[in-house]
Each structure stands twice: as structure tokens, then as C-alpha cells.
Chain A
């Protein structure tokens, strides 16, 4: 991602924060997230100040009466299409729900031109097969879902979100990990399906991660029911309830579904990644570098067998490899150089 893209995204996130502040007092959780975001990058601070400046400019603008809003109705339909990713592959699920969606939109459709109707039909098609959220290496995103839930998406993650069903809210986590802060809706449970392991919540905060063959569910708040589907081809197709998790519990479901085990964890620590922190306890240096590399464009590696044995403990800002390198230089005699690909190489000092 180049500088302009980073700036553009920071600008969008800043505007998202600003609109959130406009709608009401932010809960502690959101304020913590906001501070975390500001502390992620000076760019975030800069874009935040600039969004506020734009707002200030609009608030002092005197010629609103002269601003025309002609053509606003036609414009609206177009606006709705952009929201969904055009890269969907799954076929739409037909009929019944589609009608329902159409009806709920009745008032919306009324004023629209015929061409706009066609556009809207396409939108519903997209929305039934789900919205794709995908992040690359070095990319972290916070996404507000249609139901008011918020997903903190880690790098290298892909999920499909289906929020339009009247009986449930479904996220299919294809790979990676994400933290879900679920908006309360007793009518529609919130389900996260990762390779057949389904975590189900009503209003709570929990994370789901796929790691190799395993699926790891960590609960920060509230209760989450986890069920596991039997392997495909098994006669008994009913999913089995694996565990009911409460706050500070973690369940790892192995590739062989039987090996599920609940353990007690410090969820704040386990989920530090969601606020951009990497926490290590006695972790080997290469695995620490691998973690940093997932969050950053600049890649680091260690070029010495003995150094690679070194174990690291500490809490670091995931998007700031430099502060980690500075830390390394204070605890070990190392030097950092750049290789041909401009990646950082850690080697013993001279």
C-alpha cells in the first residue's frame, strides 16, 4: 500500500470516528479503540485534525441556500451498490428472502426511476451472497457491520458477512482472525462459522481465529456457544455443542473435532492484537518477527542461528517495527541492515 492509499484510508477512518462522535457519547470500549487508533500512526492524528477542520469549514459556510440538491433521488441507488464488493463468486440464494427484502424497502423504491430499480435488484443479489471483507498482509481494518456490530479484522483475513437474514446474522470466516463486538439483538443471534466450528452469541465481544487446522475462539465479554459440525460425509449431520464459553475462556477446536478443550486465559492479553498490540512471553525471535511481518509492509528477518534462539518478552505496537528494533538493540548487541529487497536484517553487532 503506498503513501496515498494509506492516507486515504486514514482519512476515511478519521471521518468514521468523527461521525461516530457526532451521534452520541462514546462508550469506554469505543474510546479505548479510538485512542488505540490514534496511537497507531501520526497519519491518523493528522487526518483526524483535518477532518475536524473540514467539519469546521462546513459549519461556517454561509451559502447553503445556493447549494442545489437536484438529482438527489437518482443518486441514492448508485450509492448503495458501492457498499458491496463486486468480487463475489457464490450464487445467490433464491426467492423468499429476496421478496421480503424488497418489501421492507417499499418506501425507498417508491420515488425511484425504473433504471434505479434494476440497480437495486443487483444490490439485493449481492447482499444475499454476502459482503466480503478481506485484508492483506500489513493491513488492519475495523469494519462496522449493518447491524451495528464492529469487527476488528487482522491482516491476511477473509470473511463473508450476511446481515440481511431476519433470523440470524452470519459471518463466515474463511481464514485469518477477527474480533467481534456484537450489537445486542435477541431476535437474531450472531454466528461466526470457521470451517464448520460455529460460535454463537447474542450481544458480546469475542474473537475467532483459524490457525493451521485449528479454530480458536476467545471470549472477552458475555457468553458464546460453540458448536462443531461433524466432518462432511458423516451420517449424523447435526452440529454438536462443544462448549459454552464465558469471559476469559478460550476454546481450541482441533482439525479432528474431538480435541476441543476449554482453558482460562487473560482475554485482554490474548486479544491485544485487536488494538494493534503484539504481546510476547518468552517467544522465539523468528516467530516474533513473523508476527510483525504480518502487520507491516517492511519485512524483518534474523540472519544468525544463535540470535534466532533468543527469546523475547514484551508488548509492542504491531505497526511500529522500528520501536521493536530499538528494543532489540537495547537488550542485545545487534545491528540492523537492509538487504536488496529493502527488508530489515537483524545480525550480531560488529
Chain B
């Protein structure tokens, strides 16, 4: 993807912190959305307490960092509560989860299914963004429309995908590919 400087930085921030978050989420077998909500509740409280002047410097970075911290703290707390659970012990020694090709393939399939529920125009915009690596302005030019319309299309797609996709699949797909 031909990223702008800002976008690259955003992705850097995200990559830096997503690993602990992902590890936490993937290890829990409970309903994932509830997990994200739990973490978000705690992140929210920390955001309220945090100094405004600092937060507004790089809000995205603080958001990801706080989420990762909360996830990491809770992982430790959970391990402490269940010291004899063999699964947890194995992870403690083994570090990252093993690559699971079957889960990965299933995730790809699920993603493909979800993308295909989008109207063709939204699919095209996403394809130009993620496959051809175009920025919104370039996509707009290619399609003879405005960057604003492209953004609107992306927003709609994300919303649909968000409700369409099972979060478990998403995690299986991108896990370990940092």
C-alpha cells in the first residue's frame, strides 16, 4: 500500500501494540465481543483519568497502548488465578500460539464470504485500496468520483464487515504475521 507518512505511522503504532491485545483475546474462549467490551471499559476509564494535553498529542497511540496494557495485565492476572491449568502453562512456556493452517484457511474463507456480501462498488473500492494499494484520492480519480464518496463507501463497508465477521476469524487470519 502506498501509505502517506501519517498512515504509516498509524499502522506502526497499531502493530506495536496489537500483539499483546491479540494474544489476550485469542487465548480467551469466551464471546469475543464481550471481551473487547470489557477491555474497552477499562481503557475508557484510563482515558478519563489521563492528562488531556498529552492524550491529544497522539490519541491513536495512547488508545492502542492502553488497550494492549490492559490486555497484558489481565492475561497475567488470569494466569495467576489458574496456575495449574495445563493449557495456560503450555502457553507460558511455548510463547506464541502455534501456527494453525486450518484456522487460517477458514479465516480466509470467512473473510471472502463477508467481502462478497458487500455491494460491488464497495468491493471495488476495498480491492483498489488493499490489493492495488491506492490511496482514497487515487481511488476517487480511478472511479471518477470524489475522495469523500470513496471514504463514505469505505465507512459503509467497514460497518457491514464489522457486523458480518466473527472476530475469532479475523484474529486467526492476522495472528503471527506481524
A residues with a Cβ closer than 8 A to B are 8, 11-12, 15-16, 18-26, 28, 31-32, 34-35, 38-39, 41-76, 78-80, 83, 107-108, 111, 144, 146, 148
Contacts and interface: CB of A to CB of B under 8 A. Distances in A.
Contact of A31 (B56, B149, B155, B159): B56
A48 B10 CA distance: 14
Given A46-B41, A79-B153, 20 more contacts: A12-B159, A15-B158, A20-B151, A25-B6, A34-B59, A34-B60, A35-B56, A43-B37, A45-B43, A46-B37, A49-B36, A57-B170, A58-B129, A64-B127, A67-B112, A67-B115, A67-B126, A68-B116, A69-B121, A76-B143
Contacts of A56: 14, 18, 170, 174
B158 A55 contact: yes
A54 B152 CA distance: 16
Grouping DSSP codes into helix (H, G, I), strand (E, B) and loop, the A interface class, with mixed when no group exceeds half, is helix
Interface string B64-100: 1001000000000000000000000000000000000
Contact of B10 (A21, A31, A63): A21
A42 to B, nearest CB: 4
Most buried by A among B5, B33, B136, B159: B159
Contacts of A21: 6-7, 10, 60
A247 to B, nearest CB: 20
B63 A38 contact: yes
A12 B155 contact: yes
A11 B57 CA distance: 24
Size category of the binding interface on chain B: 35 or more
Contact of A64 (B131, B152, B163): B131
Nearest to A24: B6
A32 B53 CA distance: 9
A59 B60 contact: no
Contact of B159 (A15, A24, A55): A15
Contacts of A19: 136, 151, 154-155
A219 B33 CA distance: 42
Grouping DSSP codes into helix (H, G, I), strand (E, B) and loop, the B interface class, with mixed when no group exceeds half, is helix
Contact of A50 (B41, B121, B167): B167
Interface in B1-49: 1, 4-7, 10, 14, 18, 21, 33, 36-37, 39-41, 43-44, 47-48
A58 B149 CA distance: 20
Contact of B44 (A25, A42, A76, A107): A42
A58 B126 contact: yes
Nearest to B169: A57
A1 B48 CA distance: 24
Contacts of B33: 50
A78 B12 CA distance: 36
Contacts of A11: 158-159, 162-163
Nearest to B42: A42
B44 A38 contact: yes
Contacts of B67: 45, 49
A73 B143 CA distance: 9
A315 to B, nearest CB: 12
A62 B108 contact: yes
A53 B170 contact: yes
Nearest to B107: A57
Contacts of B127: 64, 67, 69
B148 interface: yes
Interface string B126-143: 110111000110000001
A15 B155 contact: yes
A51 B14 CA distance: 12
A149 to B, nearest CB: 12
A79 B127 CA distance: 18
Contacts of A57: 107, 111, 161, 165, 169-170, 173-174
A63 B63 contact: no
Nearest to B60: A21
9 contacts: A18-B158, A23-B147, A38-B63, A63-B108, A63-B111, A71-B120, A72-B120, A75-B122, A76-B143
